[in-house]
Structure 1
Amino acid sequence: MTLLGGYDPDAGRNAHKADKPTLIPLPSLLRSLLSEHLDPGYAAAAEAKAAGKRRAWWQAWAWQLAGAMMIAVVFAAAMAQARTTAPGMRETQQVLAGSVRSAETTTDTLAQRRDALAAEVDTVRRSRLEGDALGQQLLGQLDEANHAAAATEVDGPGLSLTVTDPGVSADLSDVSKGRVPGSQQVILDRDLQLVVNSLWVSGAEAISVGGVRIGPNVTIRQAGGGILVDNQPISSPYVINAIGPPHAMQDVLDRSPGLQRLRLLEASYGVGVGVSATDTMTLPAGSVREVNFARQFER
């Protein structure tokens, strides 16, 4: 007879005794189900996972510490280098600023000398040509050419437009943002070009933008965040003066694409637009460049 025994491997009786039952040491299924809720393999796997997590946590902490130390070393080296190079950079900036101021002074001096020589040449030319009828005729043609080339100072009644960028606004909505990404600038070179062309169409005889006379070979273009008129930087507020019949010019300008564009920018971005008529204004003479090549177009 064979009976199921317990867990003790020595629970079986001596097999040499006759007629004695032998107990086989097998676990009780019912006892194991009641006493052991999880398979031993699950417990071993859980212990291994916990040990792995502990090791992973220590490794992650070590890597984070090493990364923080490396970042601190890099920042310390950068600060040391910045402190070392700061005096040299300030000195270089001062030298460059001094060079710019010196160049500006030289340019202004040369421009004044150029204007003085041009006036002297005009005086001598008039004294030589005013003596006879042919000379007077030539002087009249020269005056017309100089006026068309914006080479003479003019004065008279006209219109004055003042266009102001809205600048930095407390409102961060899309309306207050600039048309140039990352900039508060709203007025661009093409806006001023359109206004100048509209003024010519409205009957203007002479125009200046930001104090710079508009004439042949004079451009209005964008240079980064600034606007250059004849390679001279101008900034907001942009003042555009035009000599001509004020009321007739304003009637045409009110319906022109240039002023309509400004009104749209005024409503959308808060650009300041002011138009006023004046009885007298003076526009400076523009710079005259030598013409190396020219061709007359047939109409």
Structure 2
Amino acid sequence: MANLGGFDSGRNTHQAGGPTLLPVPSLLRSLLSEHLDPGYAAAANSQRPRSKPAEWAWQIIAAAAVVTVFSLAWAQAQSAAPRVRESQQALASNVRSAEANNAVLADRRARMSADVDAQRRSRLEGDATGRRLLGDLDRADAAAAVTPLIGPGLTVTVTDPGTSPDLTDVSKQRLPGSQQVILDRDLQLVVNSLWVSGAEAISVDGVRIGPNVTIRQAGGGMLVDNQPITSPYTIVALGPPNAMQDAFARSTGLQRLRLLETSYGVGVSVSAGDGLTVPAGSVREVNFAKQIGPN
């Protein structure tokens, strides 16, 4: 039988009848018997967890700090809430006041425009030259979309379905996360297609389309001539209904609407009718005139 010995064991000589000891260096014996380096052992001993009371004390301090922070935040929110509500009410009141003032001014402008038109006709209808000028002015007003019109035409109604499960579109231009499917460029395409199809006058949700009138989105809202409109969007186009309907059926505008109808459930309706009306458009410039010569 042989046992491990060592150079420092003091038994390097064999004794008769005793076990045979194999000399093993002390370093090798420490590697075989001590599995953790003394330095690591000392570091592990120094990082022993704190006692339970100390650990609980730190947890209580941390919880108290969290509660204090949330209490301060809640108190600050409560103190600021009345001021926020007052600001919101003041802004809402200002908006309502501005809307009422705009309505009054628009009504005043309409009355003054009607008075100017009546005065102009009474002064020009007396002779052939005046009547010729009136005819030229009427044609110019019609081209500028500043007079209301009535006649046959098409009515295109587009209804936005709202939230859609998937707004991925072949154009890759839907608004991520938005509840809108119909965008300003869709209405622009429909209006341009109606012009190409032979429309003579167009309105969108009661707003006349004329020179310098835009259809655009701002903050998720749809604006026509800076006036907000909402779904369903009603587009009225005056013109020869049968020819215009045939041409519009082949247009890119209706094809776009049909694609949106199939992909997202957009409501699309096209119908012909008589006695359709479009309102007068906004006057972009104010022209001043003065009388020259005798009355």
TM-score strictly above 0.5: yes
Decide whether aligned partners of structure 1 residues 65 and 101 sit closer, same or farther in structure 2, where only a CA change above 3 A counts. same
How many residues of Structure 1 are paired with residues of Structure 2 in the alignment? 271
Give yes or no for contact 1:178–1:186 (8 Å, CA) kept in 2.
no
The answer for the alignment partner of 2:283 in structure 1 is 288
The answer for the alignment partner of 1:136 in structure 2 is 131
The answer for the alignment partner of 1:39 in structure 2 is 33
The Cα of 1:114 is off from its aligned counterpart by 0.2
Q: Percent identical across equivalent pairs?
A: 62
The answer for the alignment partner of 2:174 in structure 1 is 179
Task: Tell me the secondary structure at the aligned position of residue 166 of structure 1.
Answer: coil
1:203 and 1:173 mapped to 2: Cα distance? Answer: 33
**TM-score where L is the length of structure 1:** 0.78
Structure 2 stretches of 5 or more lacking a match?
16-20, 25-29, 288-295
Give yes or no for contact 1:154–1:282 (8 Å, CA) kept in 2.
yes
Give yes or no for contact 1:154–1:285 (8 Å, CA) kept in 2.
yes
1:214-260 CA deviation, whole Å, 9 max, x = no partner? 00111111212112111111111111111111111110001111111
Any runs of at least 4 consecutive aligned residues in structure 1 with deviations exceeding 3 A, and if so which? 27-30, 43-74, 171-175
**TM-score where L is the length of structure 2:** 0.78
1:153-212 CA deviation, whole Å, 9 max, x = no partner? 10111111111112124x46857x991022111111111111111101111111001210
The answer for the alignment partner of 2:18 in structure 1 is none
| 2:192 matches 1:197 | yes
One-letter identity of the residue aligned with 1:239: T
| 2:162 matches 1:167 | yes
1:239 and 1:172 mapped to 2: Cα distance? Answer: 25
1:40-85 CA deviation, whole Å, 9 max, x = no partner? 3538678557646643999999888766655443332222111001
1:289 and 1:224 mapped to 2: Cα distance? Answer: 25
The Cα of 1:122 is off from its aligned counterpart by 0.5
The answer for the alignment partner of 2:245 in structure 1 is 250
* Residue range with higher mean Cα deviation, 144-153 or 60-69: 60-69
The Cα of 1:279 is off from its aligned counterpart by 1.5
Decide whether aligned partners of structure 1 residues 85 and 214 sit closer, same or farther in structure 2, where only a CA change above 3 A counts. same
Decide whether aligned partners of structure 1 residues 5 and 275 sit closer, same or farther in structure 2, where only a CA change above 3 A counts. closer
* Residue range with higher mean Cα deviation, 101-110 or 271-280: 271-280
The answer for the alignment partner of 1:117 in structure 2 is 112
Name the Cα RMSD after superposition. 3.8
